[in-house]
Chains A and B, each alone.
Chain A
């Protein structure tokens, strides 16, 4: 933040995030966030955007709502953060409730069931592709792959609770990657 930003109204924050929320169909929300926040509204510069994105991805919670919190807070403090998160979530929630009514009414209709089966199968493809795209580096590095497989088995197959898994595995992986253990070759 080099120059002091002009005060942005809460309604404008809500509206901007609502627009991002309703136009970000089918994932890829980062691209929508960047074009709205950096290019259209100029609320963040490129570097601030990348820093906020990194925080959003590291902390628990959805990347999109965490980004909303960080940008809303920067603009108007706690109320700004609330306006941004609500803007991001509420329009989709309203549409989902409508879809939910339709679902409750028609889910026993065989035509609806097969469409939803197709959508679910496609959603699995989307999940898998996103995971591979984000994770190919970890999947190709043996010392990371061990933990990918370990966590997958603990949570996905053995149904060990996420609290227990994270409490056991997180300190271990962070210690194994403690400062001074970086792979020099990659230049990180």
Chain B
């Protein structure tokens, strides 16, 4: 039961902190779930995030697997509720106020001011996953060179072609299977 309370506390706060989407809370989520609570290891965190990429729907739905690993079905349901309900409730209430603030100069100020903060958070999220997914000192230069190449190839593919991101993700899995074995 204490574990469920812990899960709800962590994910409800993350829900309300997810400015600019789920990527913004990845560093804190990783820090909370691995370093602080030891619910999952670094590698498990990255693998759970990868599973999120393989399933349809919002990628961050993968958080339920952390709940499941901590305390089974109850944990999964608790995390689902904690991660999606607070931000949805806030959006329900504040959304209409925000809509009626259309044209207010302070609304523009908030949007312009927060834009670089969101980008900084997204970069930190990318870095948090990248540190685990791309660089593992224990596995030597061949492993790390390959994972960094896969990342670079995906960035280039997405920037230069109109490839579906899901195809790029699956291609990464195939590349991993061929190159990393």
Scan residues 131-188 of chain A and give those whose CB is less than 8 A from a CB of chain B.
131-135, 137-139, 144-152, 155-157, 159, 161-163, 166, 169-170, 173-182, 188
* A interface, over-half SS: helix
Q: Is the CB of A119 within 8 A of B54?
A: yes
Q: Which residues of B contact A26 (CB under 8 A)?
A: 53, 164-169
Q: Is the CB of A170 within 8 A of B57?
A: no
Q: Is the CB of A179 within 8 A of B57?
A: no
Q: Which residues of B contact A117 (CB under 8 A)?
A: 133, 143, 147, 176, 180
Q: Which residues of B contact A44 (CB under 8 A)?
A: none
Query: Does B50 have its Cβ within 8 Å of any Cβ on chain A?
Result: yes
Given A59-B98, A116-B47, A162-B17, the answer on whether A127 and B56 have CB atoms closer than 8 Å is no
Cα separation A115 to B36 with both chains bound (whole Å):
28
Measured CB to CB, the residues of B under 8 A from A are: 13-25, 27-28, 31, 35, 44, 46-62, 64-65, 68-69, 76, 80, 84, 87-88, 90-92, 94-95, 98-99, 102, 105-106, 108-130, 132-134, 143, 146-148, 150-155, 158-159, 164-177, 179-181
Measured CB to CB, the residues of A under 8 A from B are: 21-29, 51-52, 54-66, 68-70, 73, 78, 81, 85, 88-89, 91-93, 95-97, 99-100, 103-104, 107, 110-111, 114-135, 137-139, 144-152, 155-157, 159, 161-163, 166, 169-170, 173-182, 188
